[in-house]
Structure 1
Amino acid sequence: MRALFCLAVCGFASLPAKAENEVTPAIVGVIRYHFRERLEGVKPGGKQYSAPAYETEQLPPSSAPSNGEQVQVIEGRVAHLPYSFVINLGGKGAGILEVKIVTADGEPLRGYPKTVANAFAPGAEATSQDFEIPVAPKLAAKIEKDLLEKNQHLTQVQLVVQTSQ
């Protein structure tokens, strides 16, 4: 009986230690430029556009600050958007995901910052979080010109944050 009691106490005593040792997973940030291609030579009534596709640009890899906090941070820019990105995944395990997108003027992009609690909760199937990035028509035209091929039309821009494990 005493041995059973000792096993139960020792087992419960080790549970908090496991939670304390949980590590915030590394994260990656990817910008997806979704587009459709206008098909040429299509007969009247035929399919006018291709299936959706996308091009990507990678944000810099996440890093953990040297102060010992359980945080992963991505800070950076991509070539085809005039924005700065700051993405934080803080806390142990699933943590809190915070996404900040700032314009060249230093102002937050409309609708940002955004926060998602338990973004990557253990046991949940979510290994990524998607955020739509609003794009003005003038910027969309510039992206189409600089990044996409002829007859490809931008339909959406997304930030995808994924765990890298």
Structure 2
Amino acid sequence: MRSGVDPLKVKKIVQSVDLEFFDPSKYKPLDFSSIATLVLGSDLTGSNLEEKFVFLSVFKWEYRKGWDVLLRSYLKEFSGVDNVALYLLTNPYHSDKDFGNKIIQYVEGSDLEKPSNGWAHVYVIDEHIVQVDLPRLYKAADAFVLPSRGEGWGRPLVEAMAMSLPVIATNWSGTD
């Protein structure tokens, strides 16, 4: 409009999230045990996941999404005795799908020191989650986290909020 386009011809179209679809009252939580692989931390076999505080992050595997910031922060804050688990639903962007090894290589190549009581639990969700199951994925978490270095909008953040999850996100860019 500032360049001379008639304001009557300009329409703002925003992305949306279907609040009827992402309605937390309609869904039971997805069972992470059948779709996730433990990458760091000791096996939770025999323990009750429902008693753990579950962080969830959904992103494509690229530097901009801040996966390194997320891992560093999580692993500095929590250890193997803390009642937490971090689940990462990710997919390849300009990489292969070997996320477990990428995470281990990142941790081993960093200055992070392994706590005496072991790493906090980090899981990678190995399976493709179909659209119809996304609300159940969010429903299984206690908080959503995405420390992105820049978003145009941040669809997973809005989907998580629609499912009544507290969200931890960068206060900058499209998420601001």
Q: What TM-score bracket applies, with the shorter chain setting the length?
A: under 0.3
Structure holding more helix per residue:
2
Q: TM-score, normalised by structure 1?
A: 0.23
Structure holding more strand per residue:
1
Q: TM-score, normalised by structure 2?
A: 0.22
If asked which structure has higher relative contact order (CA below 8 Å, sep 6+), I would say 2
